[in-house]
Amino acid sequence: MTSLETPVGLLIINLGTPDAPDVASVRRYLAQFLSDPRVVDLPRLLWLPILYGIVLNTRPKKSAHAYETIWNHDIGEGPLKTITRLQAEKLAALGLSGKAPVIVDYALRYGAPSIDAQIDALMAKGCARIVLLPLYPQYAASTNASVADAAFAAVKRLRRQPALRIGAPYYDDPAYIEALAARITRDLAALDFEPEVIIASFHGLPQAQIDRGDPYRAHCEETWRLLRARLGMEEEKLRLSFQSRFGPAKWIGPYTSEVVEELATSGVKRLAIVAPGFSADCLETIEELGVQIRDLFLQKGGEKFARLSCLNDSEEGMALVATLAKRELSGWI
């Protein structure tokens, strides 16, 4: 077997989830997540005392309760882990191998299975070339760059290092826009009401990170523009917003909660919400949008509300992941 016929590893990557919906597990998860300088890029001497002295003593209990409401108790996983695992399994079943076999697996940036453990596992199976495919459509240093940091740290300790490729963001990729449009169209058709407005809610980011050059907001706005064009919707029909603010600093807006309240108090009675920046449903989509934002809309006068699913491991979602995987594997198989 030549070097070009040895196995190629393909690792799809998402953010992560605690090991269990209890306070101790959530505290460990949040400690790893919120201590990442890519996520909170404040000076360590300022941030770490706040993190360990206040945040990790107050937030885990509330977050654990939220995770408990969405947990897949039958298999002991959070939904993001379940979906990411299924995406990897379905991708492997598609048969991506060419001259070189492809070994598909998944990793989580925070929690288990970790990026370094999965790189080790792929190398143990003979993979001298590994593709990392972060399922983050819009680039942010706190997501995409953090994956690169973890991967480079994993191989830095190795004497024999694999060749690495890291997939590019795909915020404006026609395959991504088409997958979103097809899934949204299908889900809207299944509703028992027609929404007056649809909100495209993306995860927020501190404004300071944008000011320092992060392209995330511009990527979200371009996805929104392309999706509106593909669906034939005006700005008033498909609204843009950002969710999941944390802390007192200014985050990019408009904030999802404020948009929803504004719509409800202005007389909108039927609302749907979709999260195009999330490749798998998770706490932020199921509980934050599906429960907290729903309740806010109904309390402020709304009558009909629907949270549309992420692409997940749906037919549309898997077609997209397969397209991205084949592109990044090109030349290696």
pLDDT in tens, 220-255: 999 999 999 999 999 999 999 999 988 788 999 999
Are 103 and 114 in contact by the 8 Å Cβ rule? The answer is no
How is 191-259 classified by DSSP, letter by letter?
SSS--SEEEEEEEP-BHHHHHTT--HHHHHHHHHHHHHHHHT--TTTEEEEEE---SSS-BSSSBHHHH
The residue behind tokens 């288990």 is: 112
Q: How far is CA 3 from CA 123, 323, 327, in A?
A: 14, 25, 20
Are 263 and 237 in contact by the 8 Å Cβ rule? The answer is no
Which of 107-131 are b and which e, b meaning 16 or more Cβ less than 10 Å from the residue's Cβ?
Answer: bbbbbebbbbebbebbbeeebbbbb
Are 93 and 321 in contact by the 8 Å Cβ rule? The answer is no
Tell me the domains of the chain and their CATH numbers: 3-170 (3.40.50.1400), 174-307 (3.40.50.1400)
Instruction: Determine phi and psi for 102, rounding to 5 degrees.
Output: -115, 130
Average pLDDT score over residue span 214-224: 98
CA torsion 149-152-157-159 (nearest 10°) is 180
How confident is the model at residue 1, as a pLDDT?
A: 56
pLDDT in tens, 166-181: 999 999 999 999 999 9
Say if residue 254 is preceded by a cis peptide, omega within 30 of 0: yes
Can you tell me the distance from the alpha carbon of 126 to that of 131, in angstroms, rounded to the nearest whole number?
14
pLDDT in tens, 8-58: 999 999 999 999 999 999 999 999 999 999 999 999 999 999 999 999 999
Q: 203 a known binding residue?
A: yes
Can you tell me the distance from the alpha carbon of 146 to that of 125, in angstroms, rounded to the nearest whole number?
25
How confident is the model at residue 328, as a pLDDT?
A: 96
Cα of 57 vs its chain's centroid, Å: 26
How confident is the model at residue 199, as a pLDDT?
A: 98
pLDDT in tens, 143-200: 999 999 999 999 999 999 999 999 999 999 999 999 999 999 999 999 999 999 999 9
* Average per-residue pLDDT for the chain: 96
How confident is the model at residue 2, as a pLDDT?
A: 62
Q: How confident is the model at residue 3 (pLDDT cuts 50, 70, 90)?
A: low
Q: How far is CA 198 from CA 91, 118, 276, in A?
A: 31, 38, 12
Q: 73 a known binding residue?
A: no
pTM exceeds cut of 0.75: yes
pLDDT in tens, 54-91: 999 999 999 999 999 999 999 999 999 999 999 999 99
Can you tell me the distance from the alpha carbon of 219 to that of 170, in angstroms, rounded to the nearest whole number?
9
